């Protein structure tokens, strides 16, 4: 089983692609096994089950840091064969990802798998976490992004990576982000996903 994330940039026309596209591609490349960007502001990526939720919120943080947002549909399922490009890969994970993306209404994150109970759980928790992201400033989003990527690093180490003078700056940003609660929720969703 794999996770496939289908996404697009919210109000991409309000910003220059040469500014946000490199940021998007760099963020995708952190977790993606394979990915494609198409139609200018849309993308599809394959990630491991363990990293599916972290990858989704890492991309959200990266785009919020750039002053934009992203809509994401996560599909959990099978992949029929290995292809160097996700656009030439088939399987239920890709179908579910597309369907999850099509389900997005006002929410910016939706999940679909073959397990209705798991879908209901995630589609209760993930939209709440997405709502939390709306409160992030670019500075908070940058701190969250670095904290997600360097899981296990303490705040002093994060301050060094972020070139912040004081650890308290990291602490304040993560507190305002609701990061510990978010991490707890993502960890719970991941544990449930790995039981499928």
- Walk along the chain (196 residues) in steps of 10 and give the mean pLDDT of each run: 95 84 94 87 94 98 95 94 70 94 92 98 96 96 97 96 96 97 97 95
pLDDT at 85: 66
pLDDT at 121: 97
| pTM to 2 decimal places | 0.94
Cα–Cα distance for residue pair 150/172, rounded to 1 Å: 18
The CATH number of whichever domain residue 102 belongs to comes to 3.30.70.270
- Contacts (Cβ under 8 Å, ≥6 apart) of 41: 8, 9, 12, 17
Q: Where are the beta strands (DSSP E) in the chain?
A: 2-10, 34-38, 42-47, 69-77, 109-112
Count of domains for the chain: 1
pLDDT at 16: 84
pLDDT at 87: 67
Domain of 177 in residue numbering reads as 2-194
């Amino acid at each position: 089983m794999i996770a496939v994330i289908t996404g697009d940039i919210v109000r991409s026309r309000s910003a220059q692609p040469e500014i946000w596209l490199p940021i998007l591609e760099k963020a995708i490349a952190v977790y993606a096994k394979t990915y494609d960007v198409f139609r200018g502001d849309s993308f599809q990526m394959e990630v491991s089950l363990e990293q599916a939720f972290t990858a989704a919120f890492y991309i959200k943080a990266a785009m919020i840091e750039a002053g934009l947002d992203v809509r994401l549909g996560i599909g959990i399922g099978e992949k029929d064969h290995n292809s160097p490009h996700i656009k030439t890969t088939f399987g239920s994970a890709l179908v579910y990802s597309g369907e999850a993306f099509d389900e997005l209404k006002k929410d910016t994150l939706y999940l679909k798998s073959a397990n209705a109970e798991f879908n209901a759980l995630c589609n209760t928790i993930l939209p709440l976490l997405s709502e939390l992201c709306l409160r992030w400033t670019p500075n908070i989003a940058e701190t969250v992004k670095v904290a997600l990527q360097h899981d296990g690093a303490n705040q002093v180490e994060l301050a060094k990576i972020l070139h912040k003078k004081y650890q308290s700056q990291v602490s304040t940003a993560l507190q305002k982000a609701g990061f510990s609660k978010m991490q707890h929720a993502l960890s719970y969703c991941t544990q449930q996903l790995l039981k499928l």
